[in-house]
Amino acid sequence: EVVWEALEDAGVPANELRGTATGVYVGSTNNDYGMLIAADPAEAHPYALTGSSSSIIPNRVSYALDLRGPSINVDTACSSSLVAIHQAVRGLREGDADVALAGGINVQAPPFITTSFGELGVISPTGGIRAFSDDADGFVRADAAGMVVLKRLEDAEEDGDNILGVIKGSAVNSDGHSNGLTAPNPDAQVDVLERAYIDAEVDPQSV
């Protein structure tokens, strides 16, 4: 549904993408439906295997719309959607795709994940997100889905598309070893920002 809405908003008829090198890149983590099925496998439908597989999330879109580009699920925890968009940008640059549908989805079905995060002390007790702030006290979970339609800039201009923004550059890395598996590593985050600026050919002082 969200992919369809994104295409409508972009003014791109889905039937025009049929059979084309259109990639689908979806960020998702914590297979909630799979956990529900595992809790009572006797009640599971035979299609529960494909219905709950993370790889099928983008594949279902590619199948339904007959899209022939890469169809990739990305699971990098909290950064899944951003990394999915990074992969989409790379796919467009390298010619793997001519159009990319990229974004992410999160559905909170069983309570296990939220309660576990709560016991780990990583969920904000105040229910607020204060990224990069000294007052940050955790993150917030939510049900959400979002997709963007991406093209190479020259293609979007040639097609007369309504261009809402331009991704000038991106970068991805890992925190490596920090003071905990789920704890951020400031040095690694500075590194990925520097590489993103280099990729975008943007002076950080101008931001």
What's this model's pTM, rounded to 2 decimal places?
Answer: 0.91
Give pLDDT, residue 131: 82
Checking if the pLDDT of 42 tops 90, the result is no
What is the rounded average pLDDT of the residues 143-149?
A: 96
Give pLDDT, residue 30: 84
Give pLDDT, residue 26: 98
Q: Which residues contact 146 (CB under 8 A, 6 or more apart)?
A: 2, 81, 103, 104, 105
Domains of the chain: residue spans and CATH: 2-107+143-163 (3.40.47.10), 168-207 (no CATH)
Measure the CA dihedral 49/50/54/58, to 10°: 180
Half-sphere exposure of 31 (CA within 13 A, CB side): 18
Tokens of 50: 């494909």
Task: Give the helix ranges, DSSP H, for 40-161.
Answer: 48-51, 56-65, 80-94, 112-120, 153-158
What is the CB neighbour count within 10 angstroms for residue 18? 12
Q: Give the range among 40-44, 157-161, 166-170 with minimum mean pLDDT.
A: 40-44
